Amino acid sequence: MKKTVSQFIKPALIFILMFSALSCSNDKLEEEVLETYDFKIEKAESVHDQLEMLTKAMRRFHNFNVAVDQGYIPVSPLVPGMGVHYAKLEYVDMNFEILKPEILVYHPDENGVMQFVAAEYLIPVEGCDPELNYTPPSDGFLGDQDHWHLNCAAGGWTLHAWVGLENEAGVFAPFNPALQ
C-alpha cells in the first residue's frame, strides 16, 4: 500500500497541535500540578525525597516572570550571601507546606537577570523580639537536617532550602558562600 505525503503530515500536525495545547501554561494547570505533587509529598520517605519533589515543583520559578505573575512581590533588597527575597503574602501563615514556600530567593547574574536560588519558609512570630526566646516550629522536612532560624527582620522563623543553587554550607543553611 502506497502512503501519500498527506497521510504522514496529518498525524504529525495532530501531534503538534495536541502538544502545543498541553504545553500552554495557565494558573489552573499549575495548581493541578501542585496538587499532584502534594499527593506525592505525603509519600516521601526521606528528606532527599522531599527535596527532590521540591526541586521539581520549583522548576517553573526558574522563569522569574512566573513568580511575579503568581503574586510573589519583592520584600528585601539584595542580601549578601542570599539574594533578593520575593514573598507570596497569602502563603504567610502558621503552616509549613513544602511545595508552597512563602518566599522565593533570586540572585541577579552578571547581566542583572534574576536567577532562582532558593525556596524559603516563614512561620510568623507576632511582635518578634530577637532578645526573647521562642520555640521553633515543630514542622519541617523529615529528619533533623533542617534548622529554623529566628529572623525578626523577616517577621519570624525562617528556613532556606537551596534547591536552585548548590550550597556548600548545606541545603538548609541560611547563607550561601557562593553568593558573597
Chain centroid, CA 50 distance in Å: 12
Cell of 87: 514573598
Residues 6+ apart with CB under 8 A from 69: none
The pLDDT of residue 180? 81
What pLDDT is attached to residue 2? Answer: 52
- pLDDT for position 24: 42
Residue 110 half-sphere exposure, CB side, CA atoms within 13 Å?
0
CA 98 to each of CA 118, 132, 140, 146: distance values in angstroms, whole numbers, following the listed order: 12, 27, 8, 12
pTM above 0.85, yes or no: no
> pLDDT, tens digit, for every residue of 112-128?
999 999 999 999 999 99
Three cell numbers at 36? 499532584
DSSP line for the chain: -PPPHHHHHHHHHHHHHHHHHHH---HHHHHHHHHHHHHHHTT--SHHHHHHHHHHHHGGGGSHHHHHHTT-EE-S--BTTTBEEEE-GGG-SS---TTS-SEEEEEE-TTS-EEEEEEEEEEE-TT--TTS--PPPS--SSSS----EEETTTTEEEEEE--SS--TT-TT-S--GGG-
Q: What is the pLDDT of residue 7?
A: 44
| Dist CA 12 CA 18 (whole Å) | 10
Crossing angle (nearest 10°) for helices 47-58 and 27-41: 170
What is the pLDDT, as a whole number, of residue 10? 41
Q: Model confidence over 104-113: pLDDT tens digits? A: 999 999 999 9
Residues of the chain with pLDDT under 50: 3-29, 31-32, 35
